[in-house]
């Protein structure tokens, strides 16, 4: 089992990658100021969302067990 610091680093890495992909998929159309979403990274984003969710659950459980 990883320690809390390693899990926090993994969560930060996954969330940063997810944020980058979201920015790449959402491109502003300067003429109309709308955002067009192009689903290029759907599977990777889904996987990263699941990973982030699981890591948050693990961190919450670790924090609860410390109390």
pLDDT per residue as tens digits for the range 8-67: 999 999 999 999 988 887 665 556 667 666 677 888 999 999 999 999 999 999 999 987
Round to whole Å and give the CA distance between 5 and 52. 15
Would you say 65 and 10 are in contact if contact means Cβ atoms under 8 Å apart? no
pLDDT score of 24: 80
- The domains of the chain are located at 4-66
pLDDT score of 10: 97
pLDDT score of 38: 63
3-state secondary structure of 34: strand
> Do strands 34-37 and 26-29 pair parallel, antiparallel, or not at all (unpaired)?
antiparallel
Q: Could you tell me the maximum CA-CA distance found in the chain, to the nearest angstrom? A: 54
CA angle 38, 33, 36 (to 5 degrees): 10
pTM: 0.75
């Amino acid at each position: 089992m990883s320690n809390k610091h390693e899990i926090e680093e993994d969560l930060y890495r996954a969330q940063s990658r997810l944020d980058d992909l979201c920015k790449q998929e959402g491109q502003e159309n300067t003429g109309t100021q709308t955002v067009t979403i192009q689903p290029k990274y759907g599977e990777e984003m889904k996987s990263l969302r699941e990973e982030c969710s699981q890591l948050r659950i693990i961190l919450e459980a670790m924090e609860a067990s410390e109390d």
